[in-house]
Amino acid sequence: MRSFQLFTLVFFLFFFLVTLAGSYFNLKKITRKNKVVSRIFLVLNVAVFTGFVLLYIYPFQPRAATNYPVYFYYNTFLFAVILFNLPMAFSGLMQVVLKKWSEQTVLSYAGMLMALALSAVMVFGTFAGSRQIKITRIELHFPNLPDQFNNYKIVQLSDFHLGGMLRPDRLLNRTFEKLEEIEPDLIVFTGDLVNNFAKEVNRLDNSLRKITQTAPSYSILGNHDYGDYTDWESPQQKQANFEAILEAQKDAGFRMLNNEHVVLKNGADSIFLAGVENWGHPPFPQYADLDKAIKNISEAAFTVLLTHDPAHWESKVTGKEDIELTLSGHTHGLQWGIKLAGIPFSLAWFTRKNWGGLYKNGNSLLYVNTGLGTVGMPWRLDMPGEITLFVLKRSEVD
Model confidence over 318-369: pLDDT tens digits? Answer: 988 889 999 999 999 999 887 666 677 787 888 888 999 999 998 899 999 9
- Of 61, 96, 127, which residue sits at a domain end? 127
Does 331 lie in the same domain as 374?
Answer: yes
Q: Where are the alpha helices (DSSP H) in the chain?
A: 2-31, 35-52, 68-97, 106-127, 168-182, 205-212, 235-251, 290-293, 311-312
At 163-182, the pLDDT tens digits run: 888 789 999 999 999 999 99
Q: What is the band of 1 on the pLDDT scale with cuts at 50, 70, 90?
A: very low
pLDDT > 70 in the chain, percent:
95
At 105-115, the pLDDT tens digits run: 778 888 899 99
Q: What is the band of 101 on the pLDDT scale with cuts at 50, 70, 90?
A: low
Q: Are 16 and 8 in contact (CB under 8 A)?
A: no
Sequential DSSP letters for 1-63: -HHHHHHHHHHHHHHHHHHHHHHHHHHHHHHTT-HHHHHHHHHHHHHHHHHHIIIIISS--GG
Does 114 lie in the same domain as 54?
Answer: yes
- Of 88, 110, 127, which residue sits at a domain end? 127
Q: What is the band of 61 on the pLDDT scale with cuts at 50, 70, 90?
A: confident
**Of 38 and 151, which is predicted with more confidence?**
151
pLDDT for res 166: 79
pLDDT at 83 over 80: yes
Q: Average the pLDDT over 180-194 and give the result.
A: 97
Q: What is the band of 100 on the pLDDT scale with cuts at 50, 70, 90?
A: low
Q: What is the mean pLDDT of the chain?
A: 91
Does 239 lie in the same domain as 98?
Answer: no
Q: Average the pLDDT over 47-74 and give the result.
A: 87
Does 304 lie in the same domain as 184?
Answer: yes
Does 146 lie in the same domain as 190?
Answer: yes
pLDDT for res 187: 98
pLDDT for res 115: 93
pLDDT at 3 over 70: no
Does 158 lie in the same domain as 25?
Answer: no
pLDDT at 146 over 90: yes
pLDDT at 123 over 50: yes
pLDDT for res 239: 97
**Of 156 and 27, which is predicted with more confidence?**
156
pLDDT at 192 over 90: yes
Does 143 lie in the same domain as 278?
Answer: yes
Which positions ≥6 away from 38 have C-beta within 8 Å?
A: 24, 27, 28, 31
Least confident of 72-81, 221-230, 239-248: 72-81
- Of 77, 105, 127, which residue sits at a domain end? 127
pLDDT at 377 over 90: no
Please provide residue 374's backbone torsions phi and psi, each rounded to the nearest 5 degrees: -130, 155
Does 108 lie in the same domain as 71?
Answer: yes
Which structural domain, as residue segments, surrounds residue 328? 134-394
Q: How far apart are CA 337 and CA 329, in angstroms?
A: 16
Does 287 lie in the same domain as 197?
Answer: yes
At 7-17, the pLDDT tens digits run: 888 899 999 99
Q: What is the band of 305 on the pLDDT scale with cuts at 50, 70, 90?
A: very high
Does 166 lie in the same domain as 37?
Answer: no
Does 35 lie in the same domain as 16?
Answer: yes
Q: How far apart are CA 146 and CA 187, in angstroms?
A: 19
**What is the distance between the terminal CA atoms of the chain, rounded to a whole angstrom?**
57
Number of domains in the chain: 2
Does 197 lie in the same domain as 113?
Answer: no
Give, for 366, the enclosing helix (H) or strand (E).
strand 364-368
What's the pTM value of the predicted model, to 2 decimals?
0.90
Q: How far apart are CA 23 and CA 44, in angstroms?
A: 13
**Of 99 and 61, which is predicted with more confidence?**
61
pLDDT at 272 over 80: yes
Please provide residue 301's backbone torsions phi and psi, each rounded to the nearest 5 degrees: -75, 150
Q: What is the band of 240 on the pLDDT scale with cuts at 50, 70, 90?
A: very high
Q: Are 331 and 348 in contact (CB under 8 A)?
A: yes
